[in-house]
Chain A
Amino acid sequence: MNTKLIIAVAIFLSVGTSLLAHRLDEYLQATIISVEKDRIQVSMRLIPGVAVASTVLAGIDINRDGVISEDEQLAYATRVLHDLSITVDGKSVKPTLISQKFPAIGEIKGGLGEIQTEFTMDLVAGGPQRRIVIENHHENAISVYLVNCLVPADPNIRVVAQNRNETQSYYELDYTQSVGGPDGASRKGWPTLGGLTGRVGFASIFRLGMRHIAEGTDHLLFLLALLLPAPLMAIGAHWAGFAEVRSSLLRILGIVTAFSIGHSLTLALAAWGLIRVPSRPIEVLIAFSILISAIHAFRPIFPGREARIAAFFGLIHGLAFAETLEKLGLGRWERVGGILAFNLGIETMQLIVVFTILPSLILLSRTRAYPFLRIGGAALAGSASLGWIGERLFDLHNSVDAVVAVVAHHAVWIAGVLFSISLLCWLLRKMFDHRSLLFKCDLKTTLDPAGRELSILSEP
């Protein structure tokens, strides 16, 4: 076969670079974390490369007698543990050393020795959501790190996220530990209430739903853009007057409810595995939905049918929500509770946002300043959506994400400022306008073409 093969050239050969077979100038520290109920087990493998072995050994063989005594082993393992700063839910935790195993000193010198140490931490009972942070300060200058956690054997424990710095010397593990019932007791058979709330925990999925909306700026932007013209009436191709408070409220309620119905439906279907749609078209359609509602806020394109539009795009947004839920990997029956909890979380956050912004919208819509907010808001939402469409459809990089993130980060402040401005504008109008009995005298009662009673702001 290839016995006559002649190896002609070794192209990577460069003078003075030797060819090696193992670790050289790095101290590899590989950590594996195992999460159990109220307990963390950690095993570390420490492998000094040949060029740093003497440095590491100097810290092990303290008396330099060429032998790693039991005392020196224990002292070194203790030092390694001491060099870790570990917190659980923000509180510092001291690990307990279980074992340490050292190779022969010759192996370490040759860059082949693997030091093994295991330790454990008992955790005080905490909430369903937990965060463990391990910062490794051991021999930072020469070390490379690997940190991973095992898939938990306990079905009540679920890893939510792992975050690390670039070198992995900082590692953060978020996981949920179910508080409902004894281990896995409710996992089999027909779902009970315990089954619905078990494992990952109703509350944590609920919070996940809230966070998803709070951080999912595209969903909010769609809804807010749709709400912008909600207190107004369309006259022909323009937003001309404002509707009564009651009918504005009803309309807003209608839009929010329709959106909820839409996304609940597809969220349930997708989370249940009945429909599966690739994420990219959904992302594009979501961006598109923002563009549509932004245009509508600028000039009415579907006046009176906002609820239907909200329901339609709600269907699409629901598919995106389902992806987040899917990441939790819930079992079939847990999903019933999971979908419910997640959806309730979404609704709650949505209502919080709507009720935060609602007074400003109503107040400001009664003043001449409203077009600034409406058109400004529509322009912002529109350009954000165009940016997203460009990015999601054509891979055009832009700073929309970054800008929106900054805005979202200051959302509470912005909402506060908006309310203050709205209140101010409204008060100014009340003070300077003699016809300031806004809700009674300033309105002419007319009928719209459909015969409904409308209140239209009379142009001064």
Chain B
Amino acid sequence: MKVFSLRAIRCIVVLAAIFLSAATAAAQTATSRIVSSANRFLATLDAQKRQGVLYSFDDEKQRATWSNLPTSFVPRGGMSLKDMNPAQRAAAMDLVSAALSPRGFEKVQQIMEGDEVLKLNDNNQPGPGNSGNRPPAGPPPGAPHDRNGENRPPFGGPPNGGTIFGKDLYYISILGKPSEKDPWLLQFGGHHLALNITIAGERGVLTPTLTGAQPALFTSNGKTVRPLGRESDKALALLNALDENQKKQAILSYKLADLVLGPGQDGKTIQPEGLKASAMNEKQRAMLLDVISEWAGIIHESAASARMAELKADINDTWLAWSGPTTADSGKNITAYYRIQGPHLVIEYAPQTLGGDPSLHVHTMYRDPTNDYGRTLVTK
């Protein structure tokens, strides 16, 4: 008996040790996986192209070169998928995928597909925009005035094969040297997308990151796709779970036409408003965390779980503010703005009137004003 139980104990200890080391190994692989993916990608480039992708880690200008706007309006640094050969492109997407969780990567792909839909739709547009007399891409050419002052906005219809939208117009850049020890920054973005992923040892920081979608609802392979659908649905479910008193606090009395802390607004902490989560019950707080996870969970799992733990610790100091309609058509996105703000968090969800239906065009922002670009990890 005694021998048996001793053996059993030894067995358990050994199993636990294996498990633990396996878990540690798995945790370690996140960064090393990203680093080797990055090195594989860089190896596909010749020296000149590699120089075009690499920036110094402290290049503040490149760091802040991101936007919700199409790449022709705000040129991004780095190299676009369009300028890559298939092997390079695959390696680049492999790198992005390594840095993200599966659902984060899926979201990114859907945003890019959405831009492809936008391109196709745009090319199908009848009207003067397609007359083919406009140069492809290029800086804002003051279009409407070139077009007899008609009420149509510019950039609406680029010439055939126009390069304003499309899923290949996404740019990748690396600030610093991919390393398992020293901090470096991976940027990937284009129209409606700006991922800024700081890798510092085992830590990974996704802030600031912008996601957006237009169309925010489209059909692909017979399936309805909403790249930012869960952001909309989960937030609406949370709002509906509030009682009248809580709603009164959460719903702002004024309209918000856009993101308050969009591109270019780094490092600002605005006064929080709305309903504080300390006035929510456990279930509502869990729902709030679930909404947050739509952004916090874009990055790879081990970084995401560390981030979620931080945000969970802050939850009682986290605020929810809502502005606009409190209902949505079934299967469609909300048309309301909302903001979630905590000591280490700002999330904004801002539907855009551009295009006519705000449920089909949304910009979102995900920030940590105390740690954008992983600044706290970087200070030596």
Of B113, B257, B269, which contacts A146 at CB under 8 A?
A: B257
A159 at the interface (CB under 8 A from B): yes
A391 at the interface (CB under 8 A from B): yes
Query: Are the CB atoms of A21 and B155 closer together than 8 Å?
Result: yes
Give B134-164 interface residues, CB cut-off 8 Å to A: 139-145, 151-157, 164
Chain B 270-305 against A: per-residue CB contact (8 Å), 1 yes, 0 no? 111100101101000000000000000000000000
Q: A10-B121, A165-B254 are in contact. Are A149 and B270 (CB under 8 A)?
A: yes
Q: Which residues of chain A have C-beta atoms less than 8 A from B76's C-beta?
A: none
Query: Are the CB atoms of A279 and B218 closer together than 8 Å?
Result: no
Q: A18-B156, A148-B260, A167-B255 are in contact. Are A112 and B140 (CB under 8 A)?
A: yes
Q: How far is the CA of A12 from the CA of B215 in the complex (A)?
A: 7
Main secondary structure of the interface of A (DSSP, over half): loop
Interface Cβ pair total, 8 Å cutoff: 181
B82 at the interface (CB under 8 A from A): no
Q: A51-B151, A110-B154, A151-B271 are in contact. Are A7 and B117 (CB under 8 A)?
A: yes
Chain A 312-326 against B: per-residue CB contact (8 Å), 1 yes, 0 no? 000000000001001
Q: How far is the CA of A151 from the CA of B317 in the complex (A)?
A: 14
> Nearest CB to that of B125 among chain A residues?
A18
Q: A12-B215, A110-B141 are in contact. Are A18 and B268 (CB under 8 A)?
A: no
Known: A11-B215, A110-B73, A112-B74. 6 other contacts (CB 8 A): A2-B113, A7-B117, A10-B218, A150-B269, A278-B279, A397-B244
Query: Are the CB atoms of A149 and B271 closer together than 8 Å?
Result: yes
Q: A10-B215, A30-B260, A280-B245 are in contact. Are A19 and B125 (CB under 8 A)?
A: yes
Would you mind naming 25 contact pairs between A and B with Cβ atoms under 8 Å apart? A7-B120, A10-B118, A10-B120, A12-B357, A16-B126, A17-B356, A19-B122, A21-B155, A21-B354, A22-B155, A32-B268, A50-B153, A51-B151, A106-B139, A106-B142, A109-B144, A110-B140, A110-B142, A146-B258, A150-B270, A165-B254, A167-B254, A280-B243, A326-B278, A395-B243
A1 at the interface (CB under 8 A from B): yes
Main secondary structure of the interface of B (DSSP, over half): loop
> Nearest CB to that of A395 among chain B residues?
B244
- Kindly provide the distance from the CB of A114 to the nearest chain B CB, expressed in whole angstroms: 8
- Kindly provide the distance from the CB of A312 to the nearest chain B CB, expressed in whole angstroms: 24
Binding site for B on A (CB under 8 A): 1-2, 5-24, 26, 28, 30, 32, 50-51, 54, 106-107, 109-112, 114, 144-146, 148-151, 159, 162, 164-168, 276, 278-280, 283, 323, 326-327, 391-392, 395, 397
Q: How far is the CA of A2 from the CA of B167 in the complex (A)?
A: 11
Q: Which residues of chain B have C-beta atoms less than 8 A from A159's C-beta?
A: 271
Q: How far is the CA of A146 from the CA of B258 in the complex (A)?
A: 8
> Nearest CB to that of A278 among chain B residues?
B281
- Kindly provide the distance from the CB of B284 to the nearest chain A CB, expressed in whole angstroms: 10
Q: Which residues of chain B have C-beta atoms less than 8 A from A111's C-beta?
A: 140, 153-154
Q: Which residues of chain A have C-beta atoms less than 8 A from B183's C-beta?
A: none
Q: Which residues of chain B have C-beta atoms less than 8 A from A112's C-beta?
A: 69, 73-74, 140
- Kindly provide the distance from the CB of A192 to the nearest chain B CB, expressed in whole angstroms: 27
Q: Which residues of chain A have C-beta atoms less than 8 A from B124's C-beta?
A: 13
Q: Which residues of chain B have C-beta atoms less than 8 A from A9's C-beta?
A: 218-219
Q: A18-B122, A19-B214, A110-B142 are in contact. Are A7 and B116 (CB under 8 A)?
A: yes
- Kindly provide the distance from the CB of A209 to the nearest chain B CB, expressed in whole angstroms: 20
